Chains A and B, each alone.
Chain A
Amino acid sequence: MAILYNMNQAVVVPDSVVPLRLSQGFTVAPVDVVPAAIAPETEGKINVNTCTAAELVALKGIGIKAANEIISGRPYDSLEPFLSDPRIAPHIPNLTV
């Protein structure tokens, strides 16, 4: 079983249902309900090891699913894994580890 978050509410989810729920907008960690208002271009880089899903979703082209994948893959030693991902690669200049 796994614990996912539905609108920030923790839910026990059987393993076989996890992919379905993630595609429906559930998250693997609580999401800051207030969208990140800080533009990464002006306020520095986003640390992929510590940022919230909301910060990632604020980036153009990155949705809940991609944000969950990033968070699930922590920790990262480098940004190399994102080079081949067309959703994330354009934002690498604004990311850090």
Chain B
Amino acid sequence: MFTQLDQIMTTMALMVSRQLYLTGSYSRAGATSMDTDPARGFEFGSSIVIRRPKIRGAAQDLNPRVAPATLNEQEWVEVNLSLNHAWADGFPAFNNDAQYATVVNDSLMAVSTNVGTSFEGMFYSECFRDYSGVAASGAVQYASAPPLQLVFSENSSGVLNAFTTEHLARANACLGAANVPAMDRFAFVSSFSAGDWAVAAPTAEGQSGALAGVGNIIQTGLQQGMFIPRAGFNFGVSNSITGQAAVASLGDGTATEAVSAYTADTTVFFDGDRAGGTVPLGAVRCTVGVTGTLTGLAVGQIARLGPDAGPATAYGVILRVDVGNKYVWLVPYNSKGQKLTAAQLSTSTDKFGVPAIPYVNTAHHREFLVYGTRPLRQPMPGAGGQVISQAIPEYGAATVNIAVGAYNAAGMKQDHLASVLCGCKPSDHRKAAFMLSA
């Protein structure tokens, strides 16, 4: 019989927390969940509002002899996070196992990986690929939403290249260009990738390129361009969006269509991070020259603008579709992640299409994700169970609950369960970039 149950539970919590930490999450929203009073803890379905300051622009070049400084009142972007997932995994260990401690120890990493990868699936799908929160009509202040910026690499025939260090360099430049306060930024690949990258080591499932020890990460933070070691990096097709399937016909049987007009959008999509909310986001309205009805398009698809048999001029995430007028709104980015204007797109050469994209990886700052957790209520005295709620500041202050109980006299078993209550929401679309690859 293993006698150090508390130690096992704490180890399990540490492992789960580490897995979440490696996901690149942070828990700014979860600060109050550290309260030990369960009445003040978060419940499933709770919502948390976080706010972050908008861009303030350049500081004034003040001449104190001439005029006083004009101070601007701060404005905020509000991020509403719902705790709508409670990931849990566990295992039974039987008291008549001769090597009880071995069974428990062998299962710890599996449990932590399972919780972590389930979390990742939600993270990728809901933080990066869910554009359903973008309003279907009216003006949009785009701020706390999935990313728009992207980088890609195509060969001379217009076919996406496999993942290379070029993607990483471009994505890092993209993130670096965002005018946001310096945080412990890092790029993190979240999805499968094919090809050689980072340290030119073949990777099958997005493994780390440059291994950084966890202890080192805690002490120094992860440097830009470094990648974190992963365990069990595995997105299932069923619960997340990884790549993208092509749209074979946009209405008249062809996959790409000429665009009759590229028009700068100044009335629909605005930069939600700019005080006043009147600065256009940089979206371009494409008038697709399809014969008949425009079909097959959906918000959230990644469209390609460019010649059929040559390198693309731009890619962009579709933000709105007007079937009646054959309009599609997107923010176009070139291969280096630079935002293009309508004038930089050519109606004579840049055709519109939604191609197959095998892999859509992400690079993002760590604060892109927020989640909150809470401790579990202790079981009633004499119930035969124990609960440890382990909050680990080094791992983003996640609270992982480990419960042992449900003692079954007939089977002589004890169930071990790890759970984490969480939600995720992108807090700033500029802090992430897609990397499109084959």
Contact = CB atoms under 8 A, between A and B. Distances in A.
Nearest to B122: A16
A51 to B, nearest CB: 22
A2 B297 CA distance: 13
A20 interface: yes
Interface in B129-173: 129-132, 136-137
B239 interface: yes
B299 A17 contact: no
Interface string A1-45: 101101111111111110011000010000000000000000000
B349 interface: no
B132 A4 contact: yes
Contacts of A12: 129, 131-132, 241, 298-301
B132 A13 contact: yes
Given A3-B298, A10-B321, A15 B238 contact: yes
In which size bucket is the chain A interface?
A: 10 to 19
Given A7-B136, A9-B321, A11-B131, A16 B298 contact: no
Contacts of A17: 125-126, 130, 132
Interface residues of B, number: 23
Contacts of A1: 125, 129, 240-241
Contacts, number: 61
Interface string B215-242: 0000000000000000000000011110
Given A4-B132, A26-B132, A11 B298 contact: yes
B240 A11 contact: no
A83 B101 CA distance: 54
Nearest to B244: A12
A15 B238 CA distance: 8
A1 B240 CA distance: 6
B293 to A, nearest CB: 12
Interface string B297-317: 111110000000000000000
B129 A16 contact: no
Interface in A38-94: none
A14 B299 CA distance: 12
Contacts of B320: 9
Contact of B84 (A4, A6, A10, A20): A20
Contacts of B300: 11-13
B239 A16 contact: yes
A16 B125 CA distance: 8
Contacts of B239: 14-16
Nearest to A24: B132
A17 B128 CA distance: 13
Given A1-B241, A16-B239, A11 B299 contact: yes
A14 B321 contact: no
A7 B125 CA distance: 22
Contact of A14 (B85, B129, B298, B301): B129
Given A3-B298, A21-B132, A15 B125 contact: yes
Contacts of B129: 1, 12, 14
Contact of A7 (B121, B126, B137, B240): B137
A14 B378 CA distance: 35
Nearest to B241: A1
Interface in B244-276: none
Contacts of A26: 132
A83 to B, nearest CB: 32
B121 to A, nearest CB: 8
A36 to B, nearest CB: 21
Contact of B136 (A3, A9, A15, A20): A9
Q: Considering residues B84, B121, B299, B301, which has the most beta carbons from chain A within 10 angstroms of its beta carbon?
A: B299
8 tightest Cβ-Cβ pairs between the two chains A and B = A12-B300, A14-B125, A10-B298, A7-B136, A11-B299, A6-B136, A9-B136, A11-B132
Given A3-B298, A7-B137, 15 more contacts: A1-B125, A1-B129, A6-B299, A9-B299, A9-B320, A9-B321, A10-B321, A12-B129, A12-B132, A13-B300, A14-B239, A16-B125, A17-B125, A17-B130, A21-B132
Interface of A: 1, 3-4, 6-17, 20-21, 26
9 contacts: A1-B241, A10-B298, A10-B299, A11-B132, A13-B130, A13-B132, A16-B85, A16-B121, A26-B132
